[in-house]
Structure 1
């Protein structure tokens, strides 16, 4: 039983790496803001969705 649980935990951790580190998250935030700014400038605030921003990143 223990081996089964251990294997399931290893599989779950391989699929989900978790939150990015603080340094990585700062870079990701800047990337998202850059994409959002470009989309807002090109299409306007009302025509820009979160989905479009995510796709642009």
Structure 2
């Protein structure tokens, strides 16, 4: 499960880098697609962060 979450985080980082590229910004269709993907991935990355924090708290207890 952690591996899948890490893959999602990696893709989120890639998309984050892509949406600030001038060539992507100039291609409106691609830009809209990537910003939607970014928004969807952001929610998952936030849940991943919460999961990892809770997991670490349980391991420390």
Q: TM-score, normalised by structure 2?
A: 0.38
Pick the structure with greater CA Rg: 1
Larger relative contact order (C-alpha < 8 A, sep ≥ 6)? 2
TM-score using structure 1 length: 0.40
